[in-house]
Amino acid sequence: MLRTPSQHDQPNILVIITDQQRADTMACYGNDWIQTPNMNALAASSFVFENAYVTQPVCTPSRSTMLTGTYPHTNGLVRNSIALAPDALSIAEMVSPEYRRVHYGKWHLGNDANAQHGFQDWISTGHVSPGLDGTGQSDYHAWLEGQGVELPEHYVRPGGDGAGSKRAVAQANLPEELTQASFVGDITTKFLRDESDKPFLLFTNFFEPHPPYSGPLGDLYDPATLPVGPDFMRSPEGHSLFNRSRSEFYLAGEHREDSVAGCDHHDLHGEDGWRALRANYMANITLVDRQVGRIMEALEESGHADDTIVVFTSDHGDMLGDHGLLEKRAFYDGSARVPLLVRVPWLSEGQTRIPGSIGQIDLVPTLLDLVGESIPDHLQGNSKASVLRGETTLENNDVFVQWNGKGDRDLGTPTINEMIALPRRTVVSGDRWKLNLCDGDDGELFDLTADPHELRNLFSDLGQSERIGSMAARLRAWQEETGDTAPLPVV
């Protein structure tokens, strides 16, 4: 017999977001060796969306969608280091005033210093703009100082993009109990244990496993025996120039985004370094998993477990050497596909797998629907609550992913920088085909069922011309519907 909410008329919402966690990092997505018992336990009582995609595979744009229910090209957060506009509504401004609205951890939609966009309780871990004295310090930085941790100067005086504080995590060589993961776990569990019967909306945001690829559990996995796929360190021949040029650059091993300031030790001139980096990344997944266990235990002890919707997801993935690439910004599944677990105790007590494809654009309307709130007309996704209830499926659900080519940082070579400046659009169909289009680069078409590692580009296959035409037409229809003006090639 399924449980029903009892503490109050409106259920709680707990959203757990990791940073840069690809989908295949827990058992429900096929990983049978990584140590994630707590994520696995959550999946065992959740709806598991088998193929969930971000709206843009980089931090700020992706997070803007999860908070506002709009696409980056609509809300204006088309790249990192852009602040969410004051008149842009977050989900905290859409729910009933009854809710206690809480945001802990990484924000990355502007200055992290103060509560904003409807959130009442706020504890920061990320970028805080310098004040009048020229310094900026997040709550996490202040807490570390209170623990007697001596930090490099740029750790407590982050640069304009917040990068200094991120890179200093490794430089500070922090033990597990002082990591951002543990700090976020501490404040989240305290809130859950102290919370009253007032319904809450709680976003708790982990920094890990975002680079640097190092941490206190770095020796947990053996790099030499770490399982890898057929695309590991394999150049994407026959794919777009964007992917080919990036792969050539990364496989040369000369430079990475996290290689500055001496905060990472991986030498990527050969396979051993790539494997070590990948093993450290997986260890940081386990680091977060331990905190997920603490959070779920605190939720159970609070008496609110039966009344709380729990969402677990990430803002994008990490290529980790697949196709010879590192970090995000690619439309490959390693970068654009993420975990998405939705636990609704009164709809299902066990694990329910949801096949097909879904986009994070649907997260805000789905949550509002599940708790009985009205769904604002301006949202660009659709509630999938009917899918959770078993009334509909994702069989024909198209998912749209974008890259907006706006002011990204220097990615290493003139060719890469030229390609990254071009807008790109992707559609992933419910029957698991992916079409990538860019006006100025080669197209890509992948059969994700037959070719899950996206090794064979079928865009030039004459037998696929009808499929390409149909998918491109649906992509253009979506552009018209959402006001997207990015140029696309004629196919």
Torsion, Cα 177 181 186 192, to 10 degrees, reads: -160
CA distances from 180 to 166, 287, 330, 431, 456 (A): 10, 10, 27, 39, 39
Quick one: how many helices (H) and strands (E) in the chain? 14, 15
Overall domain count for the chain:
1
Give the domain range for residue 117.
12-396
> Is residue 152 pLDDT above 80, yes or no?
no
Average pLDDT over every residue of 413-418: 92
Residue 202 within any structural domain of the chain: yes
Residue 417 within any structural domain of the chain: no
| Side-chain-facing half-sphere of 199: CA atoms under 13 Å | 22
Residue 432 within any structural domain of the chain: no
> Is residue 158 pLDDT above 50, yes or no?
no
Omega before 37 cis (within 30°)?
A: no
Residue 467 within any structural domain of the chain: no
Angle subtended at Cα 410 by Cα 406 and Cα 414, rounded to the nearest 5 degrees: 95
- Identify which of 169, 195, 155, 167 has the alpha carbon closest to the alpha carbon of residue 256: 167
Residue 378 within any structural domain of the chain: yes
Residue 293 within any structural domain of the chain: yes
Task: Say which range, 179-193, 256-270, 326-340, has the weakest mean pLDDT.
Answer: 256-270
- What does the pLDDT look like over 48-82, one tens digit per residue? 999 999 999 999 999 999 999 999 999 999 998 89
Q: How far apart are CA 178 and CA 140, in angstroms?
A: 10
Residue 181 within any structural domain of the chain: yes
Percent of the chain with pLDDT over 70: 90
Residue 6 within any structural domain of the chain: no
195 — pLDDT class (breaks 50, 70, 90): confident
CATH of the domain at 312: 3.40.720.10
> Is residue 133 pLDDT above 80, yes or no?
no
Q: What is the pLDDT of residue 266?
A: 80
Q: What is the pLDDT of residue 265?
A: 67
Which token pair is 483?
Answer: 């006001």
